[in-house]
Amino acid sequence: MSKTMEKEEVKKLKEKLLLNRRNGYFQYSDEKVAKAESFCERYKEFMNLAKTEREVVNYAVKAAEKEGFVPFDPDRRYQAGDRVYYNNRGKAVVFSVIGKSGCKNGVRITAAHIDSPRLDLKPHPLYEKDDIAWLKTHYYGGIKKYQWTATPLSMHGHVVLKDGTQVDIRVGEEEGDPQFCVTDLLPHLSAEQMEKKISKAIEGENLNIMAGSWPVRADKGDDLVKLSIMRILYEKYGMTEEDFVSADIEFVPAFPACDIGFDRSMVGAYGHDDRVCAYDALMAVLRAENPENTILTVLADREEIGSDGNTGLNSQFMHYFIADLARSEGLEPQHVLRRSKCLSADVAVAYDPNYASVYEPTNSCYINNGIGIAKYTGARGKNGTSEASAEFVAEIRSVFEKNNVLWQIGELGKVDAGGGGTVAAFIASLDIDVLDVGVPVLSMHAPFEVVSKLDVYTTYQGFKAFYESK
């Protein structure tokens, strides 16, 4: 029979054997909290300036050029410390700092995505109905459609006119700009709508955006409101109705990022998923100095719709970039890929006590508790996940520990509650070790998402530590 333990002994044994899951705030000094706050001031500016994948690429390339990054030339031989970038069609971008050992021991990659759920315009969007001009949309990514009605929207687009002229459009973000919206039904007449399932209450085909309501002044004629709107677009952008067919036009929430809570401990904004990890990964590569191995920050497009398309990570653009680096050092690309390591940097699901039934509390990530690790994602019995090995989780965990980076590990909700994936599986298919890590988010994919300032800063520190590791 074993002897009864003293209180002090139990405490010591607990410290030795059990996880400490105290509120993460207590693990930060006041000084570190202040650093996280000032880091997030710049993060909010970024969120307001760069709301779409094209705007993020523009912002990131400008910031990188200021820090000495130049366009990558595959025919050049680079030296340790050289800083290059590859702009993939203005919608995805790779930044790299050449390491002291080059890429012979593999490269160190942080990959985040810069597309977020939104309303895209159809090729023939503009029509007039009952004296109002409307724009037809096709939503992009996983949205709850009811969240996109009765909320202010801004327009972000890139149009190629018939004569080849390229025009950028951004309406609804500056003080005094007009904004847009999708209407919703008044409660007084919603008896039938309120009986419907939430997924059917708002139909995708009804997500039509109001574009205007005053006609051109004329005695008679059809489509005079539509004509009046088209005249404004022509005067401002040189656009005719046909030019909508060669345009990428996205409508996103118009409100700016702001602090949340009396203590300002959180940031609310559109599209933290995944621009929060993208910003952290960008800052980590811009501030990297003389890494041992060549490092890459990859900002990818198309993740929200499965990473398909040539600016998404289910294409080979990152693979080819690494292959070019390898060849410039006289190495075989597959040998470099096999030794490479990657953090798939995408937001984690933060536990929400208002919806506790879908979470498993002992395997959830919590706000203020640091960078969230997911060993695997997927759905229905780990389908669609690459799952990191015990060895690779151990390696990253040790990098975080050595650098005082607060981390936690969790799953995407309860086993049978749903699920999802990230870019990790596509990178793993290149024979690269990958682990999912990221900032925990509340209200993910809603027009307004929430993150903790401490987690935003900690995740940046995690990426930096990974780049500085051997």
CB proximity list for 363: less than 8 A, separation 6 or greater: 409, 410, 411
- The window from 1-9, 40-48, 272-280, 388-396 that contacts Mn ion (CB under 5 A) reads 272-280
Is the Cβ of residue 96 or residue 344 nearer to Mn ion in the bound state?
A: 344
Residue 378 burial (C-beta neighbours within 10 Å; 0-12, 13-18, 19+)? buried
- The window from 26-34, 258-266, 339-347, 409-417 that contacts Mn ion (CB under 5 A) reads 339-347
Is the Cβ of residue 28 or residue 359 nearer to Mn ion in the bound state?
A: 359
Is the Cβ of residue 173 or residue 273 nearer to Mn ion in the bound state?
A: 273
CB of 461 to Mn ion, least distance (A): 20
Both tokens assigned to 401: 């520990």
- The window from 65-73, 268-276, 337-345, 368-376 that contacts Mn ion (CB under 5 A) reads 268-276
The alpha helices in 345-437, defined as continuous H runs, are 390-402, 424-428
Is the Cβ of residue 283 or residue 348 nearer to Mn ion in the bound state?
A: 348
Is the Cβ of residue 57 or residue 111 nearer to Mn ion in the bound state?
A: 111
Is the Cβ of residue 97 or residue 313 nearer to Mn ion in the bound state?
A: 313
Is the Cβ of residue 126 or residue 343 nearer to Mn ion in the bound state?
A: 343
CB of 222 to Mn ion, least distance (A): 42
The DSSP output letter for 148 is G
CB of 29 to Mn ion, least distance (A): 31
- Per the CB < 8 A criterion, the answer to whether 145 and 204 are in contact is yes
Q: Please report whether residue 346 would count as binding Mn ion according to CB under 5 A.
A: yes
CB of 272 to Mn ion, least distance (A): 9
* 159-190 CB burial, b ≥16 within 10 A, e <16: bebeeeeebebebbbeeeeebbebebeeeeee
Both tokens assigned to 328: 């410039």
> Smallest Cα–Cα separation from 402: which of 343, 468, 341?
468
- The window from 211-219, 254-262, 274-282, 313-321 that contacts Mn ion (CB under 5 A) reads 274-282
Q: Please report whether residue 274 would count as binding Mn ion according to CB under 5 A.
A: yes
- Number of residues located near Mn ion, criterion CB under 5 A: 3
Q: Please report whether residue 53 would count as binding Mn ion according to CB under 5 A.
A: no
For helices 272-286 and 453-468, the axis angle rounded to 10 degrees is 40
- Per the CB < 8 A criterion, the answer to whether 391 and 434 are in contact is no
Q: Per residue, what are the HEC states of 333-362? A: HHHHHHCCEEEEECCEEECCHHHHHHCCHH
CB of 301 to Mn ion, least distance (A): 12
CB of 422 to Mn ion, least distance (A): 6
CB proximity list for 355: less than 8 A, separation 6 or greater: none
CB of 115 to Mn ion, least distance (A): 9
Q: What angle do CA 443, 444, 446 make, to 5 degrees?
A: 70
168: preceding bond cis by omega (within 30 degrees): no
* Residue whose pair of structure tokens reads 């006590």 in the numeric block: 353
CB of 374 to Mn ion, least distance (A): 11
- The window from 49-57, 187-195, 273-281, 449-457 that contacts Mn ion (CB under 5 A) reads 273-281
CB of 445 to Mn ion, least distance (A): 6
The DSSP output letter for 189 is G
Is the Cβ of residue 161 or residue 305 nearer to Mn ion in the bound state?
A: 305
Coil, strand or helix at 286: helix
Q: Please report whether residue 273 would count as binding Mn ion according to CB under 5 A.
A: yes
- The window from 100-108, 124-132, 284-292, 341-349 that contacts Mn ion (CB under 5 A) reads 341-349
> Footprint of Mn ion on this chain (CB under 5 A)?
273-274, 346
